[in-house]
Structure formats: C-alpha cells, structure tokens
Structure 1
Amino acid sequence: MSTTDTITIEGFTAWLAAFRDRVTEHRSYLTELDSAIGDADHGANMARGMAAVMEKVGASPATTADELFKTVGMTLVTSVGGASGPLYGTLFLRLGMTAGAVAECDAAALSSALRAGLDGVVARGKAEAGDKTMFDAMAPALDAMDAAIASGASLAEATAAARDAAAAGRDATEPLVARKGRASYLGERSAGHLDPGATSTALLFDALAEVTAS
C-alpha cells in the first residue's frame, strides 16, 4: 500500500478542518433546514462544535488516530447541544477506538472505523434506514465505500463513491416522514424537507473525498 493510498494524521486533521469549513459555510442553510422540522439550531451547533474541535486539536496535536478522535468526540459531546453533539461525538469516538493507535489508515481500515462509528450512532439514536436521520446518508455512503474497495478502488475513488452515495442518501430524506427525533413530532408535516443531520453528514463525506483526492 503506497502512502498515497492511506490517510495520515495530517490527513485526518485536514478532513476535520474541511468539515469545519463546510458546516461554517452552510451554517445558515443547516439552521434553515432544522427550523422546518427541528429546533433551528443544527447549523449553529455544528459550527460551534467544529470550531471548538479545531481549537483543541490545534492546541495539542495528536500523533495517533485514537488520540485525535477521542479529542474530537469528547469536544463535540461537551460543546454541542441537542442530539448532534452526542451523535457526532459517538461517531468520532468509535471511529478512533476502532482505528486504534496508528498514524495512518488505508481504505479498508478507514471504512471499518467509519462503520464502527455508524454502529455507535445507531446504538445511541436507534435509527434505521428511512427514519429521516443522518443514518440515511451515512449507511449508503459506507456501503458504496465498501463496494468500491471490494472492486479494487483506490482510497480516493472509494471516498468519492461514499461522497456521492451520501449526497444521494441526503436527497432521499426529503419525501420521508421522520420517525426519530424532534422531527418525528411533526408526523406527515416532516415530509418535503431534507433532514439536517443527513445534510451535515453529506458535508462530512464531501470533506473526506476532497482531502483524500489531494
């Protein structure tokens, strides 16, 4: 495996920075989506949380994936309100625990770590496909990533496939009736809106694809 087909600690940090930039750029849009079916705070919460993450990461640079993502996860849990903090925090905590004390990951190791993160999100939020949550973007993304890896794709190709599947999963939440979270209180009125969590998840995979392509 060549170094160009792995993501290093520096790459992980660049991914987090790119995600922060995206949620900051789309802060108002994420909040607009959340105002329709939630608490109208998803954009503000994620922007604040990722700003805090990058401040912590910059102040004490990690040398291993587990160390880095423990910092990320704990920062999100303690700085982000609502469901986003615990869910994204769990995602990154499980990702780091599974990746382990390593300085880089190949595509298969990254996918496995992300899958563990998704399992953590499911365990915490009890979401399934079609519930209109971040699961609806993340699960298809990881399925596409795994399929790409199985076919011999490079890391960049696998993360590009994940990015595209996450975007499609996000778009597929629009007609759904929410079955989890605050949006579920609206019943049929939750249909016709993109899910904010699925939308920010698509930004997460978009950032990953950008970083691994460079």
Structure 2
Amino acid sequence: MNDLELTEFVVKTIADTAIENESFFCELDSVVGDGDFGYSLARGFEKLLENWDDIDRSSVPVFLQKCAMILTSRIGGSSGPIWGTAFMRASAVARQHESLDASVLVAMIRSAIEGIQARGGAEFGDKTLIDVLAPMADEIEAASGLSGKQIAERVAVRADEAAEATKEMIAKRGRASYTAERSIGSVDAGGKGVAVITRALADAWPES
C-alpha cells in the first residue's frame, strides 16, 4: 500500500473499532466517568464513515485534516477536541514530509500528545490516554527497522500494558478526577480505548 492507502486503512480501522466497541467503551467509562465515551466516539466515527467517499484525498495531510474537522464537529464531550486535535496535529506533521515512515509516525503521535496536553492540561501520570500514547511512540521508535506488521504487534502489546498500568493511577483530569482515590483499580477508558484500537490495527495490518 502507498502512504494514502495505508492512512485510509488506519483511519477506517479506527472508525470500525470505535463503533464496534461502543458498549464496551461506555462500560469502561461508567466506572468512574459519565459513561458516554463509547457513545460519543461511535457517533463521531459513524459520521466520518457516512462522509467517507467524499473526503478530500488529494494528499495524506489533507485527508487527515478533513477527518479532524468531521470528528471535532461530531464527537461530543471532551473527546471531540481531543481526537480532533490528534488528527489535526498528525496532519501538520505529515505535511512536513514527502513520505511516511516509522520516524514520521512517532513524530505524529508525539505532536498529537502535545496538542492534547495544550487542550486539556493533562500531564503524564494523570490517568489519561496520554499514558498510553507516549509508550506507543517509544515502542515504534525502538522497533524501527522491523516490518510494519511486527511494529504494529509490538505497539499493540505495549499499548495494552500501558492501559492496564493506568489502574494504579489516580485520575486527575476529566469527570473521573471527581472520584479521586476511588479511581484507583480501574483502567482509564480513553487509554484502554486506544489499546483496543491498536490491537485491531495489529491484527488487520497487512503482512507486507
């Protein structure tokens, strides 16, 4: 697959996985949050898929930017700005490179993290999806040189480990922060959502 086809594959898999796991993500979020994470995410990605054939594909950056605009306008709660910012930051990084490789993907994820932090003020250890995204970027960087399939598998394992590690953290951002110490023992819904999506990507990633 060329860069655009690979980007389409990644975004489509994210969308399908978010929609398929709506109930599971809501269940995760209901433990210490308001329980709407899965619903909000699913509605946003449903809208994305409704407009799928009409999204501008003149380049990878443009495609990601258009996806960001749809997600920002359709995902409710705090998830809209977070996911929209992530896609927009990824688009900005892609615009600076002629092609995509592991190093560019790392830069895209780290820029997305910076954007999310600027939006919501979250820091590492605050029990948010940042605590999963950062280890993912580190794993991609460490696995550079392996095949895409091998990297995807390693990243999926690392993401799940990072998501499970959020159980020991105290939530300091979002609705979950209201529960303080009671948030210990449950995973961060957003972080676990990223891990589930990453596993789906690894399972579906083409061999070559």
Letter in 2 for 1:172: A
Gaps (5+ residues) in structure 2? none
TM superposition shift of 1:11: 1.6
Q: Specify the alignment match of 1:146 in structure 2.
A: 141
Is 1:21 aligned to 2:16, yes or no? yes
Q: Which deviates the most, 137-146 or 97-106?
A: 97-106
Secondary structure of 2:143's aligned partner: helix
TM superposition shift of 1:116: 1.3
TM superposition shift of 1:51: 1.2
Letter in 2 for 1:79: R
Is 1:188 aligned to 2:195, yes or no? no
TM superposition shift of 1:58: 1.9
Q: Specify the alignment match of 2:153 in structure 1.
A: 160
The separation in 2 between residues aligned to 1:91 and 1:137, in whole angstroms, is 14
RMSD of equivalent CA atoms:
1.9
Letter in 2 for 1:111: V
In structure 2, the CA distance between the partners of 1:175 and 1:91, relative to structure 1 (3 Å rule), is same
Task: Please tell me whether the aligned partners of residues 134 and 201 of structure 1 are also in contact (alpha carbons under 8 angstroms).
Answer: yes
Q: Specify the alignment match of 2:74 in structure 1.
A: 79
Matches within 5 A, 1:61-72: 61-72=56-67
Gaps (5+ residues) in structure 1? none
The separation in 2 between residues aligned to 1:89 and 1:76, in whole angstroms, is 5
| Identity rate, percent | 33
The separation in 1 between residues aligned to 2:149 and 2:102, in whole angstroms, is 9
Q: Specify the alignment match of 1:10 in structure 2.
A: 5
133, 148, 153: which one pairs with 2:128?
133
The separation in 2 between residues aligned to 1:105 and 1:52, in whole angstroms, is 26
Q: Specify the alignment match of 2:35 in structure 1.
A: 40
> What count of residue pairs does the alignment treat as equivalent?
207
- Could you list the runs of 4 or more consecutive aligned residues of structure 1 that deviate by over 6 angstroms after TM superposition? none
Q: Specify the alignment match of 1:200 in structure 2.
A: 193
Letter in 1 for 2:195: A
Deviation digits for residues 65-99 of structure 1, max 9, x if unmatched?
Answer: 11111111111111011111100110000001101
The TM-score normalised by the length of structure 2 is: 0.91
Is 1:117 aligned to 2:112, yes or no? yes
Secondary structure of 2:51's aligned partner: helix
Secondary structure of 1:173's aligned partner: helix
Letter in 2 for 1:165: R
Is 1:177 aligned to 2:175, yes or no? no
Task: Please tell me whether the aligned partners of residues 65 and 104 of structure 1 are also in contact (alpha carbons under 8 angstroms).
Answer: no
TM superposition shift of 1:142: 0.7
Task: Please tell me whether the aligned partners of residues 132 and 162 of structure 2 are also in contact (alpha carbons under 8 angstroms).
Answer: yes
